[in-house]
Structure 1
Amino acid sequence: MDKKLVLIDGNSIAYRAFFALPLLSNSKGIHTNAVYGFAMMLNKMLQDEQPTHILVAFDAGKTTFRHETFQEYKGTRQKTPPELSEQFSYVRELLKAYGIPYFELENYEADDIIGTLSLQAENEEFAVKVYSGDKDLTQLATGQTTVCITRKGITDIEEYTPDHILDKYGLTPLQIIDMKGLMGDASDNIPGVPGIGEKTAIKLLKQYDSVEHLLESVEQVSGAKLKEKLIEHKNKALMSKQLATILRTVPLELTMDRLVYNGPNEDELYDLYRDLEFKTLMEGLQRTSDPDEIADILFSIVEKPEQAHFEQADAVYVEMLDVNYHKAPITGIAVSGEGKTIFMRGETAAASEEFKKWAENSSIRKTVFDAKRTIIALRRHGIELAGVDFDVFLASYLINPSESPEDFAAVAKLHGETGIAPDETVYGKGAKKALPQEEVYAKHISAKAEALSRLDDTCRRELTENSQNELFDELELPLALILADMESEGVRIDTARLHEMGSELKKRLAEMEQTIHGLAGTEFNINSPKQLGVILFEKLGLPPLKKTKTGYSTSADVLEKLASSHEIVRYILDYRQIGKLQSTYIEGLLKVADPDTRKVHTRFNQALTQTGRLSSTDPNLQNIPIRLEEGRKIRQAFVPEKSDSVMFAADYSQIELRVLAHISRDEKLIEAFKQGLDIHTATAMEVFHVDEDGVTSNMRRQAKAVNFGIVYGISDYGLSQSLGITRKEAAEFIDRYLNTYPGVKEYMDTIVRDAKEKGYVTTLLNRRRYIPEITSRNFNLRSFGERTAMNTPIQGSAADIIKKAMIDVADRLEREQLASKLLLQVHDELIFDVPKEEIDQMERIVPDVMEHAFELDVPLKVEYSFGPTWYDAK
């Protein structure tokens, strides 16, 4: 393991913590905010840094060797508040419990201890991280040492490296000392040169490098007043630089061996947290790998539910060990409320009329974890769960979609509930996954149910703070119930047609194999990247674009770029695509189809993507490749349940571009949609300055690429690859596009600026996506963040609109008592099973509902069709 030393400026961090947090005290009247903040900083720092060595340095007293130079050094500092002074002893106790050494030395400051140890560590080839709230320490930054300065509070950190200091000030780390010499430092009462601020100091140092060189060259300085100040206060400048210089030769008797970090003493930490009444931090220590130490709660294992009283329960948790809840047996069910928690085995609950009566009572409001999963699991046992009022899993996803784990303990921890053991702790993982003793897993499941009510309160409060209650109550939760119905219903598969297609694809693959071998002039294993690489890049002499550790890369992106170089490449791409169709979709669908009903029951992932789009798994019905006709024909196997019904498909036309027009408020884009023009032709006309008759197919293709590319934040490189043109041409095309649609350009600039300020973007329905990458110093990460900021409101709003349409359509079908059923959602398309006698009504209802699901400044347009199979409905 690489050696890493973390050095912490104890006084500075304690001060920061004290002033960042409200004045807290425990029941004994001891003030605790600085200790609590310090503990939070340590937790985050230890998790982020994983140090091998560590030390906290403190100031030893009020006087140091610097006072010999300047008696008024730090003379203007206010006296330490007594509420903070009393906490330093507890900070030291905290460090002892963490197993973190701390040190102070008379006549020296913590900065000097840190400076000396960082230099010593660098000489011993350590990576060093320094944590402080004092920017004076940035002078220590080197290639090995990074200085982390707290900004807001104590966990928001700005990392100072030589590159960052150069970007921020245009100076080297050591010139920070010269800057302090010139401008002084009011907090330390370092005088500097009166009248010189940061801006002037930086400008002078860029010209003269150091205070000494500046003073030697003072006659060359432009500006009579500035020159006069420098001459008059020469000694102050030199003294100030000396005061600001961190001493790196403090006589320490500390070796790196004494700073080794072996982790905390959790018993000592727990006792200290208990005394200081840090409940959340205490609970964080209760997470353990011992199943017997699952959070202790009062619960009862019920053998005869008919004797139990469910009336007061308001939360239910259903446990299954397998992720596929369409098939997995129920391990156990726990219901909780009013301080009472009941556990039942799965088969016990399923056979209980009392539990069924409670579960199906819609007047009893219930909190669950993953409503869709819970509803389907109980439905398989003849229980129709009603009254679902809150879903902690869905709420957590909305609050921050970038943090959306599926494990209950991980979700709970995000919202302050740290007493729940991870499932792996209780059941194991992989091949070792199994049920422990009933008492153990019953307690675990009960702990989840018991935590749901508290999580309900916490998550509702967070949704309110984010203004997302409407998004949750009116969109995501109702949608979960609809998705549960869709998944339970499933979609019928024509297995005979699948077998027939499988035979056709095998024959096609054999023919393609012969063609590829003929073009190669030899037989080889087309599925072997190594053999294929030899054929393409050695035998046929194609240019190798990328290499891997094992040889030439034959990845899809490489082959796509080579497609025009030799006809064999296109055959290989098609061969791979058809091979995937055969294995993933023909064989895959036959494998998962229910042998009795011949239906497949995909699982829609409602809390996975950061844009809010749905995805599907087992099987994935949203990614059936349709570039090849063979891929499109897979949809021939999807049929209605009855012979006198049809498959009815309704698809939003260019919904993301319509959302872009609405969000950007670009007048030309809005007008084009209002007039019902072909948007790609309209764009080509504007960009190329031709009338409609002058738009060639190539112009329209380019316009289409940039129209959709803008939605995804396309770069000139991306567009050049898409259209097979140079980056310069692509950049010119994008510029012409943005000049044509200035509202789009304004939107892109504004959304990126807002995202940098707020840290997130929102959709039209207030779905959030946090984008930490947008302020990254790494160009690639920052560029990704900017593209994400541009496209998320568009993609996310389109996803929200189709979700709203699904809810509205389901409601309309129920109100009109139609037998038609919504089966699938695939991106911007809804697929229904429709009795033939209802076709006329569905032709009227579905487009009407979808086109009015959300009112934009441009009309939403829906195209629909129907036929005996999904393929025919396109």
Structure 2
Amino acid sequence: MKTLYILDGHNILFRSYFAIRGMTNPEGESTNALFGFIRSLYKLIHDFSPSHLIAVFDGPESKKSREEIYSAYKGHRKGMPEDLLPQLLYAMEFCSIAGIPHLEIPGVEADDTMGSIAGWAAKRGALVYLCSSDKDLCQLVDDKIFMIQLHKENLLVDKKKVKEIYGVAPEQITDYLGMAGDPSDNIPGLEGFGPKTAAALLQEFQTLDAILQHPEKVAGAKKQEELVRHKEQALLSRKLATIDLSVDFPKQEEFFALKSPDVEKVKAFYTKMHFMSLLKELESKAPQEALTREAEKKPEKGEYRLVDDEESLRELLTLLREQRELCIDTETTDLRAMHACLVGIGIGFEAKRAWYLPANGKLGKKRVLDALRELFSLPHLSFFGHNLKYDLHVLCNEGLEVERISFDTMIASYLVHPERQRHNLDQLALENFAFVKTPITDLIGSKKRQKSMEEVPLPQIAAYCCEDVDYTCRLKEFFNERLKELELLSVLKNIEIPLIQVLLKMERAGIYFDQAAMERLSKEFAEKIHESQAEIYHLAEEKFNLNSPKQLSHILFTKLEIKPPKKIRTGFSTAAPVLESLQDTHPVISHILNYRLLEKLRSTYVDALIAQVFFPTQRIHCTFNQSVAATGRLSCQDPNLQNIPVRSKEGRKIRSAFKPQKPHWSFLSLDYSQIELRLLAHLSKDPTLTEAFRSQEDVHATTAALIFDVPLKKVTPEMRQRAKAVNFGILYGQQAFGLATGLRIEYKEAAAFIDVYFKRFERVQEYIEFCKKSVRKTGRAVTMLGRQRPIPEINSKNPQIRALAERLAINTPLQGTAADLIKLAMIKVDRLLKEHPQWGMMLLQIHDELLFESPDLHVKTLGQAVKEIMEGVIELNVPLTVEISIGKNWEEC
């Protein structure tokens, strides 16, 4: 055995778990960490062709030995994420069938097992490579033991590299951690002894023992006192950080030899996990080649150039003018788009080549902007990027406009994987090309020591930005093919790409509110909150922390002896649904709910809104997200204006503070009426529901008449309300239990309502069954315009997961189509406003509603024109109806 590679299984799984999100198999089980683990394993095998390799995992109760020394060891860590534990077991199962030796020893941490194996192998003459990013393992590095950081392009860490990274030699690492501590393992170290201080002292004194023997020689009275008072803590910290090299393990060389994979079992495993790219490779290649083929996709380094002189710029512009599409990526001073100034821009048009133009270099900002202005004006050129809307904002801040957009890789990723919450470039490069991009913290640091991008040396920022451009080009090619395969290209080209410019204009327009009125509202809410607190304390007969669930639970369920409906792991729940169900049991409950409402309105909305006013415009500029909601709906943040309450009196007061900034202007609201029910009528082709909409009847009253078997004229408000709950419950796949809870009625009564509903609307029930059957077969729900949502959980063996998936299968085609339609309407309205800019501007989209700011002279004309667009955006077998409201503030609309 000449070489041995030891893979830190837990380290790779945890890193992959947080780097790759949103992957599940058809059973609904998370597979992101497992996928990352297998990719890392393949990469290691491909890059180093090892004959001997072992994956090491923490054993059960692995913290026990160190907890006996220090009870708080790793005590700050939450338990392993619920969906990671099964992936750990799957990782070990994969190792077994793929011929990868693996080991977990009960009661032993992976570090100790790895250290013991490494020491044994090195003594036998082998070169040992520890594949991990855990700094604890640096103490093992010597002339025969090295570390490889797979996530940093196989960075080899030898004795020299340890000294370069930490400022100390490998044999000093435990002393270093004894002083600096290790927050990741909750090793305390010494207060005031950070990494730099620890390294400097060890360079001077060589060992921790020498430092502790002569504390008076250390500069600074506080440090001297800390060394004296907490000497034992430093020694304890060193002991906790010291790897145990005496772990017993199999010491036969053949135990560590790679074996041949069981190809059929690996195929079955990939199929179960839905790793289709890996399965495809396995089926098309020889067994051993197939297990490393995915890693062979290791990307080549790109050719990146800094352009900071006139000759280079002229050459680049000549080349760029000949292209049809250009990728752009800006480097800026601020993540907030409206606040950001341009530091530089990366440009490219194909993979592996990119250029960086600094705005703060020798060329000067004006020359760079003039060059960009020329490029953006060329009619044959279009532009693409990753999260391009942000870059367009930055360019707008500098007086530049980009009209022609062809692609956005973030949105493309979202269309392929709408269930994922994140689509950042780093994650996509890792997942699709096994490439670890340079972390931004390598350039600007983090937290208190973070610096501006303007301070980063030009060669460093150029390489970073060009890397972004390079991988955006690679991702464009990759996702273009995926979108074609999934027949999603039309959704990107016809809906999402044109919408970017629409949202850009809306975000830049912002919305105005009366700050003085909002400040008065803040004071009013504060007074009411104080009154609610006083009443609660009076009824509870003592003061306590209202924001502490534990203290509140004690007051309600122990002192006041209210019967709790639900117990959770930490006691009795005080969540809003629980308290709402208890409102009739004690007067204090309604005061608590009122307190929570007021506190949330004041902190989340009123005070937060005041703080987010953009000084130059005196308006709020929120961000609309195209790549968050799995249904295709837009979301809103910084601030979220879609969530300002509309039903409560206090929420309406907040809305009333929003008003046009100019005199003689008004707000105009246009809202689709019952769009999802109308889509249900169209898609189900139910004759009763269709006729109700065609006849412009009150559909809820019609439903009530059918359910309660009474003439339409005899439908009471209560009947209508219950029918409305059934109608909307059906849209979301609600069952009898959910309906009973919502209406506060008995389960049997709710079940009877649903049973009668489906007898009256038979085609609706058929459509619901069709949706579920279709998704079970294809694994995806599809909207009328072709947007897709993967729902593999519909085949889960877990009944709760399966039931949720069935509800999504029913609702997604309705809610997703509604989202598509309002987006199409927004695109058409934007064209209208281009032709008639004097009519006003579009400000917000709140689900099925559009809000405009318009001069009084044109507001009715604009309202009628937008109504026609929204109602005619698609042809259905029932009419789309839009309601118009005009007011001098948002609440009046």
Instruction: Check whether TM > 0.5.
Output: yes
User: What is the 5 A alignment of 1:656-735?
Assistant: 656-735=676-755
Q: Pick from 313, 319, 340 the counterpart of residue 312 of structure 1.
A: 319
Contact 1:421 1:444 in 2 (8 A): yes
Matching of residue 326 in structure 1 with residue 345 in structure 2: no
CA distance in 2, matches of 1:419, 1:577: 45
CA distance in 1, matches of 2:493, 2:47: 48
Q: 1:285 to 1:333 in 2, by over 3 A?
A: closer
1:759 Cα offset (Å) = 1.0
Q: Which residue of structure 1 lines up, in the alignment, with residue 784 of structure 2?
A: 764
Query: What is the identity, as a one-letter code, of the residue corresponding to 1:337?
Result: F
CA distance in 1, matches of 2:743, 2:257: 57
CA distance in 1, matches of 2:491, 2:365: 33
Query: What is the identity, as a one-letter code, of the residue corresponding to 1:334?
Result: G
Matching of residue 300 in structure 1 with residue 320 in structure 2: no
CA distance in 1, matches of 2:530, 2:856: 41
CA distance in 2, matches of 1:128, 1:470: 38
1:572 Cα offset (Å) = 1.3
Matching of residue 633 in structure 1 with residue 640 in structure 2: no
Contact 2:668 2:853 in 1 (8 A): yes
Contact 1:762 1:769 in 2 (8 A): yes
CA distance in 2, matches of 1:50, 1:506: 51
Secondary structure in 1 matching 2:863: helix
Query: What is the identity, as a one-letter code, of the residue corresponding to 2:319?
Result: Q
Matching of residue 343 in structure 1 with residue 349 in structure 2: no
Q: Which residue of structure 2 lines up, in the alignment, with residue 832 of structure 1?
A: 852
Matching of residue 569 in structure 1 with residue 586 in structure 2: no
Contact 2:829 2:869 in 1 (8 A): yes
Matching of residue 387 in structure 1 with residue 418 in structure 2: no
CA distance in 1, matches of 2:540, 2:466: 64
CA distance in 2, matches of 1:380, 1:740: 58
Deviates more, 1:337-346 or 1:817-826: 337-346
Contact 1:542 1:565 in 2 (8 A): yes
User: What is the 5 A alignment of 1:252-291?
Assistant: 281-284=295-298
1:534 Cα offset (Å) = 2.5
Q: Which residue of structure 1 lines up, in the alignment, with residue 389 of structure 2?
A: 372
Contact 1:280 1:418 in 2 (8 A): no
Q: 1:395 to 1:311 in 2, by over 3 A?
A: farther
Secondary structure in 1 matching 2:337: coil
Contact 1:410 1:422 in 2 (8 A): no
| Deviations 1:567-611 (CA, angstroms, capped at 9, x unpaired) | 321221121111111111111011000234220000011111100
Matching of residue 602 in structure 1 with residue 622 in structure 2: yes
CA distance in 1, matches of 2:771, 2:293: 40
| Deviations 1:696-745 (CA, angstroms, capped at 9, x unpaired) | 22211111111111111212221111011122222222222122211111
Secondary structure in 1 matching 2:354: strand
Secondary structure in 1 matching 2:839: coil
CA distance in 2, matches of 1:408, 1:95: 31
1:282 Cα offset (Å) = 3.5
Q: 1:300 to 1:614 in 2, by over 3 A?
A: same
User: What is the 5 A alignment of 1:859-870?
Assistant: 859-870=879-890
Q: Which residue of structure 1 lines up, in the alignment, with residue 274 of structure 2?
A: none
Q: Pick from 400, 403, 413 the counterpart of residue 396 of structure 1.
A: 413
Name the TM-score, length of structure 2 as normaliser: 0.66
1:296 Cα offset (Å) = 4.2
Q: Which residue of structure 2 lines up, in the alignment, with residue 540 of structure 1?
A: 560
User: What is the 5 A alignment of 1:179-218?
Assistant: none
Secondary structure in 2 matching 1:299: strand
- Kindly indicate whether structure 1 or structure 2 has the higher relative contact order, using CA contacts under 8 Å at least 6 residues apart: 2
Q: 1:623 to 1:347 in 2, by over 3 A?
A: farther
1:755 Cα offset (Å) = 0.7
Q: 1:274 to 1:438 in 2, by over 3 A?
A: farther
Q: 1:277 to 1:321 in 2, by over 3 A?
A: farther
CA distance in 1, matches of 2:398, 2:794: 48
Q: Which residue of structure 2 lines up, in the alignment, with residue 463 of structure 1?
A: 483
CA distance in 1, matches of 2:873, 2:339: 34
Q: Which residue of structure 2 lines up, in the alignment, with residue 79 of structure 1?
A: none
Aligned residues: 640
Name the TM-score, length of structure 1 as normaliser: 0.67
Q: Which residue of structure 2 lines up, in the alignment, with residue 62 of structure 1?
A: none
Q: 1:274 to 1:625 in 2, by over 3 A?
A: same
Query: What is the identity, as a one-letter code, of the residue corresponding to 1:326?
Result: M
1:259 Cα offset (Å) = 9.0
- Higher CA-based Rg: 1
Q: 1:487 to 1:776 in 2, by over 3 A?
A: same
| Deviations 1:414-466 (CA, angstroms, capped at 9, x unpaired) | 55473644545665555565556442332121022123333323222222222
Contact 2:344 2:358 in 1 (8 A): yes
CA distance in 2, matches of 1:95, 1:379: 53
Query: What is the identity, as a one-letter code, of the residue corresponding to 1:47?
Result: L
Contact 2:550 2:571 in 1 (8 A): yes
Q: Pick from 599, 610, 614 the counterpart of residue 590 of structure 1.
A: 610
Q: Which residue of structure 2 lines up, in the alignment, with residue 160 of structure 1?
A: none
RMSD of the TM alignment (CA)?
3.6
Contact 2:385 2:409 in 1 (8 A): yes
1:260 Cα offset (Å) = 8.0
CA distance in 1, matches of 2:831, 2:697: 32
CA distance in 2, matches of 1:92, 1:444: 24
CA distance in 2, matches of 1:574, 1:362: 58
Contact 1:310 1:355 in 2 (8 A): no
CA distance in 1, matches of 2:458, 2:653: 50
Q: 1:47 to 1:263 in 2, by over 3 A?
A: farther
1:818 Cα offset (Å) = 3.3
CA distance in 1, matches of 2:90, 2:661: 65
Contact 1:360 1:387 in 2 (8 A): no
User: What is the 5 A alignment of 1:150-165?
Assistant: none
1:255 Cα offset (Å) = 5.2
Secondary structure in 1 matching 2:304: coil
Q: Which residue of structure 2 lines up, in the alignment, with residue 355 of structure 1?
A: 372
Secondary structure in 2 matching 1:871: helix
| Deviations 1:301-357 (CA, angstroms, capped at 9, x unpaired) | 425585453353321112347542222344431111367522122445852211222
1:801 Cα offset (Å) = 0.8
1:482 Cα offset (Å) = 0.4
| Deviations 1:628-668 (CA, angstroms, capped at 9, x unpaired) | 20111101121112111001111111111111111111111
Matching of residue 819 in structure 1 with residue 839 in structure 2: yes
User: What is the 5 A alignment of 1:720-799?
Assistant: 720-799=740-819
Q: 1:776 to 1:262 in 2, by over 3 A?
A: farther
User: What is the 5 A alignment of 1:609-648?
Assistant: 609-648=629-668
Q: 1:346 to 1:493 in 2, by over 3 A?
A: farther
CA distance in 1, matches of 2:37, 2:432: 24
Matching of residue 47 in structure 1 with residue 7 in structure 2: no
Query: What is the identity, as a one-letter code, of the residue corresponding to 2:469?
Result: A
Contact 2:340 2:397 in 1 (8 A): no
Contact 1:302 1:342 in 2 (8 A): no
CA distance in 2, matches of 1:626, 1:801: 23
Deviates more, 1:420-429 or 1:521-530: 420-429
Q: 1:311 to 1:92 in 2, by over 3 A?
A: closer
CA distance in 2, matches of 1:340, 1:91: 26
Give me the identity figure in percent.
33
Q: Which residue of structure 2 lines up, in the alignment, with residue 87 of structure 1?
A: none
Contact 1:417 1:455 in 2 (8 A): no
Secondary structure in 2 matching 1:317: strand
Contact 2:304 2:355 in 1 (8 A): no
